[in-house]
Structure 1
């Protein structure tokens, strides 16, 4: 009788352990299937969207589309003014956001004392990265368009988009600077270098790949934004090219938005061709960011 009880006592924990393992395996398979299903559904939606865009847009994607201005006739409509306007706006947004964003990151990481004031600044920068883009449009409308009297110009649009992506660039630059090994800084100081010499010659070159990657991804977001530019009054129909920073302009997302709002179905196909051009531009910029990251991530 005692031997039977001992056998039962030994087998019971094993049975309980097997039951526990079986339950965890079932949960693991369930969540795995759930995640695979969510991924497959997202990819399916993306595939359907891309197929629809390409089938509708390819017939209208020709040389005339790139060299023509918008028109009231779908077969004559082009994206020239929007494409050039996007380049003009990026020519303002890129240097302004890079200088201000990287400069802010350097100050916060290398020069600012770690106190409540800098913590408040850091918290506000992180919060600004999640603010809806239309809020930055209202800010640009108030400051640049009205107070500084820049009007509906390329300069006003570029400065507004700089405000939009500035928090993203600051956070990305800070992370890149933090990733620089401390041994490099200590070696520079040991050689008699000053704080600025160490930052300029050691920290920035080492952090530059991460900084550039963050800047390119932020600029990719700026290219695809529409709401801030609509708020500052960017035109939806432009049949001329900007001649300077104070010229009126339009960009590709606004032009695509204008085409999709037309009742004629042909303009929806033209909008699909414009979306294809915008997608290619974004993919090229993101590819450059990935190439920079992969090339320099093992440098230090």
Structure 2
């Protein structure tokens, strides 16, 4: 059995596909208004959510450390208030790389219990452990509410989905959902089995998000452009179709290599471009087989 893609390969992909040879210098942070008070920032790495208002700035994820100055500059064009809170949707470096910098800017970092644990135990590039300033100060097990800028933001944990520490956030008045990496718009998702992710949990996370929203909800995915409920439902249909197809192969006694090499299992979604990203059709078939076989 071939190993499932480890985190360092994922991060290598993100670097090579989002950045050119000049590194982060040429990355531009684009601000997209989602509602009256909520914005999506797009740069390199996971999509950032930003809430602005009288109470201060509330941020969801922070991409890579070298981009913090650009992210801060983009935020200052939206609000002159300080950054008060930062929620990490999970522990991967393209969503938490700027934590230490955000802490220095005054942000209180919040995340699921497992995010803090993984950040504590995953070494930095120089092999030193993550600094204390990069760790979440407030952690939660199941869900919590943050009352800021005139609305309640519901934060809830999706168990064993993309990782074991995923959080989705719903802005109850703005009607905006930030999914973190439990949603890759128009692409096959990265399900990090080595970090507690699973196919069943990932599907459950999407169902949880869909139960929370309505036809008018704006969705900030972990990766991809701003989305809506119909596109989110299409993503769920893809996941469930592939799950049923791979389970049928497993029940028929097919091996991992049989499934990985069976292009017919994903051809419908391959033709729609789902395999054009980091997780191609072969990788998603392998991930589904390994997760569902276990």
Relative to the length of structure 1, the TM-score reads 0.22
Relative contact order: is structure 1 or structure 2 higher (C-alpha 8 Å, sep ≥ 6)?
1
* Greater helix fraction, Structure 1 or Structure 2: 1
Relative to the length of structure 2, the TM-score reads 0.22
